[in-house]
């Protein structure tokens, strides 16, 4: 009896205080860099949130919604008016008619939308294909679902995909591929030919595509954003994810959505209900106003971002970075080999402490840190004054 007790106590001692899944997570490097930027009073070009104002009419709509007492739980899968506005916008952008009653779920940002979507379709042991370099959430998302990730390289300088490498990543366990276009961190906008290759693999493997299209409106140089769902045979196997965060400069509002076939939507809604119940009711109301902004809003947004990108490309090259020219989103991946640092983390820490600019070390976008050891990412979703100050500080690198 006493031996049994001491054995049990021994087992209890050996057990980690946190779950195996939690042990697999590392702290987000992006958030660490933000913390260091605050500590050193650096210009933070690490995290991708705008430091300029959201559109006036969108803010007013949120205030009006709160004043009108839209302050209680909404329908768990999203406010009807917001879903209607999303369906209208989706029709304008893709030509597809979707039923907002049966094919849409509103969640708390693209982040929760992605995890609810994965939980809806993934069983432990399934495989998920992810392009590398990747947005840092997809790995932990897969861990939460018990899935294994398989990676397909985007090859610099243009971040091209190799058809054979893509085909090799699909196995009989592949359940889904995650596609982020326009892409974070590379700024790549996948071409129609590349989307066709991806669609072909999905159809062949009977796999889902989960597309993260949060930078949909930020596309430059004559490139065009194409939603994978519009390709033949993809409507029934695509979960299209988007959010208000980047398009309306409201990353703190946490309103996102998934568009998916009815059966999948049912499952996404269940996951979402038990994860968060619902996204903020008044902000969904304001979202309906935002999604119905005139086309000129989207054109101007894009022009403004392209101007920021061009200013940053010139400034960064002058400071000694080699830039991988992005055609979309609001990041610039750079090559730092000219500075002679041992690795990206060392360089990023030097930048934040000595130069006063926060960036994200490239290794945080790769499984093997060596792959990103000579890269760092700049976010340029900032006011002109912020970017100018960052570039002024970076000039010190030349001395
Ligand atoms: C590719 C990508 N997806 C999703 C997100 C997160 O979106 P949200 O703030 O709507 O959760 C980000 C934010 O940086 C992102 O870059």
Q: Which atom belonging to ligand 1 lies closest to the Cα atom of 329?
A: 16
Query: Both 159 and 195 in a single domain?
Result: yes
How much helix, strand and coil, in percent to the nearest 5, is found in the chain? 50, 15, 35
Q: What is the DSSP-derived secondary structure letter of residue 55? A: P
Residue 60 lies in a domain: no
Which atom of ligand 1 is nearest to 251's Cα? 9
Could you give the C-alpha distances from 203 to 120, 125, 170, 235, 236, in angstroms and in order?
19, 20, 11, 11, 10
Which atom of ligand 1 is nearest to 114's Cα? 4
- Best mutation site among 214, 256, 279, 378 for ligand 1 pocket (most ligand atoms within 8 Å of CB): 214
With contact defined as beta carbons under 8 Å apart, do 29 and 140 qualify? no
Predicted confidence at residue 14, as pLDDT, reads 83
Q: Three-state DSSP class for 203?
A: helix
Could you give the CA distance from residue 374 to residue 343 in angstroms, rounded to a whole number? 6
Owning domain of residue 330: 2-54+296-398
Q: How far is CA 187 from CA 88, 95, 97, 124, 351, in A?
A: 27, 25, 29, 32, 22
Q: pLDDT tens for the chain, 399 residues: list them.
A: 444 444 555 555 688 999 988 888 877 777 778 889 999 999 999 989 999 999 999 999 999 999 999 999 999 999 999 999 999 999 999 999 999 999 999 999 999 999 999 999 999 999 999 999 999 999 999 999 999 999 999 999 999 999 999 999 999 999 999 999 999 999 999 999 999 999 999 999 999 999 999 999 999 999 999 999 999 999 999 999 999 999 999 999 999 999 999 999 999 999 999 999 999 999 999 999 999 999 999 999 999 999 999 999 999 999 999 999 999 999 999 999 999 999 999 999 999 999 999 999 999 999 999 999 999 999 999 999 999 999 999 999 986
Ligand 1 centre distance from Cα of residue 214 (Å): 7
* Ligand 1 atom nearest 112 alpha carbon: 11
Same domain membership, residue 145 and residue 229: yes
pLDDT of residue 11: 55
Rounded Cα–Cα distance for residues 243 and 349 (Å): 32
Dist CA 127 CA 110 (whole Å):
21
Taking phi first (over 0 means left), then psi (-120 to 50 degrees means alpha), and beta for anything else, what does residue 356 get?
A: left
Same domain, 136 and 83: yes
Residue 160: per-residue pLDDT: 97
Query: Which spans in 163-240 are helix H?
Result: 163-169, 192-205
Q: What is the pLDDT of residue 26?
A: 78
33 near 344, Cβ under 8 Å?
A: no
**Three-class secondary structure of residue 347 per DSSP:** helix
* Within a domain: 32: yes
pLDDT for 2 equals: 44
Asked if 329 and 218 touch (Cβ cutoff 8 Å), the reply is: yes
Note whether 188 and 93 are same-domain residues.
yes
Work out the number of other CB atoms within 10 angstroms of the CB of residue 341.
18
73 and 99 assigned to the same domain: yes
Which atom of ligand 1 is found nearest the CA of 108? 11
Whether residues 141 and 263 fall in one domain: yes
Could you check whether the bond before residue 18 is cis, i.e. omega within 30 degrees of 0?
Answer: no
CA of 355 to the centre of ligand 1 (A): 28
Judge if the upstream peptide bond of residue 185 is cis by omega within 30 degrees of 0. Answer: yes
CA of 379 to the centre of ligand 1 (A): 13
**What pLDDT is attached to residue 28?**
72
Q: Give residue ranges with CB within 6 A of ligand 1.
A: 48, 109-111, 135, 180, 184, 212, 214, 243, 245, 251, 256
Which one of 291, 325, 342 terminates a domain?
A: 291
Cis peptide, bond prior to residue 385, ω within 30 of zero? no
The CATH number covering residue 167 comes to 3.40.640.10
Eight-state DSSP code of residue 219:
B
CA angle 215–218–219, rounded 5-degree value: 115
Helix (H) or strand (E) holding 376: strand 375-379
Q: Which of 273, 291, 309 is the last residue of a domain?
A: 291
* CB distance 88 to 222 below 8 Å: no
Would you state the pLDDT for residue 12?
A: 57
Rounded to whole angstroms, what are the CA distances from 128 to 233, 242, 268? 19, 19, 17
CA of 9 to the centre of ligand 1 (A): 44
107, 221: one domain: yes
Q: Is 41 found in the same domain as 131?
A: no
The number of folded domains in the chain is: 2
Question: Is the residue at 62 inside a domain?
Answer: no
Boundary residue ending a domain (246, 266, 291): 291
Residue 375 lies in a domain: yes
In a domain, 170, yes or no: yes
**Residue 136 and residue 277 in one domain:** yes
Supply φ then ψ for residue 323, to 5 degrees: -95, 140
In a domain, 64, yes or no: no
Report if residue 310 sits inside a domain.
yes
């Amino acid at each position: 009896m006493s031996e049994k007790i001491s054995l049990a106590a021994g087992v209890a001692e050996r057990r980690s205080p946190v779950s195996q899944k939690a042990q697999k997570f590392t702290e987000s490097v992006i958030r660490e860099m933000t913390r260091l930027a605050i500590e050193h009073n650096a210009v933070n070009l690490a995290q991708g949130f705008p430091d300029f104002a959201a559109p006036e009419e969108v803010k007013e709509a949120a205030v009006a919604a709160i004043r009108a007492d839209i302050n209680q739980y909404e329908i768990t899968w999203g406010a009807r008016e917001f879903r209607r506005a999303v369906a209208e916008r989706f029709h304008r952008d893709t030509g597809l008619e979707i039923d907002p009653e049966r094919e849409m779920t509103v969640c708390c940002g693209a982040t929760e939308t992605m995890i609810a979507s994965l939980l809806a379709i993934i069983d432990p042991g399934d495989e998920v294909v992810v392009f590398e370099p990747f947005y840092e959430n997809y790995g932990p998302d897969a861990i939460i679902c018990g899935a294994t990730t398989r990676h397909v390289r985007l090859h610099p300088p243009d971040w091209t995909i190799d058809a054979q490498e893509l085909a090799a990543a699909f196995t009989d366990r592949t359940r889904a591929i995650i596609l982020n276009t326009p892409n974070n961190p590379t700024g790549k906008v996948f071409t129609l030919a590349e989307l066709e290759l991806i669609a072909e693999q999905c159809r062949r493997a009977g796999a889902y595509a989960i597309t993260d299209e949060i930078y949909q409106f930020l596309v430059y140089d004559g490139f065009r954003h194409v939603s994978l769902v519009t390709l033949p045979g993809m409507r029934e196997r695509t979960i299209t994810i988007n959010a208000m965060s980047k398009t309306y400069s409201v990353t703190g509002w946490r309103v996102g959505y998934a568009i998916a076939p009815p059966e999948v939507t049912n499952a996404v809604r269940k996951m979402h209900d038990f994860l968060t119940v619902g996204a903020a009711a008044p902000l969904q109301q304001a979202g309906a106003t935002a999604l119905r902004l005139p086309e000129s809003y989207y054109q101007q947004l894009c022009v403004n971002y392209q101007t920021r990108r061009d200013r940053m490309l010139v400034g960064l090259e002058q400071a000694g970075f080699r830039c991988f020219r992005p055609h979309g989103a609001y990041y610039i991946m750079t090559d730092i080999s000219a500075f002679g640092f041992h690795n990206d983390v060392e360089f990023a820490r030097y930048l934040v402490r000595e130069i006063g600019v926060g960036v994200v070390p490239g290794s945080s976008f790769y499984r093997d840190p060596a792959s990103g050891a000579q890269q760092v990412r700049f976010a340029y979703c900032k006011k002109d004054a912020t970017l100018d100050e960052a570039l002024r500080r970076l000039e010190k690198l030349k001395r």
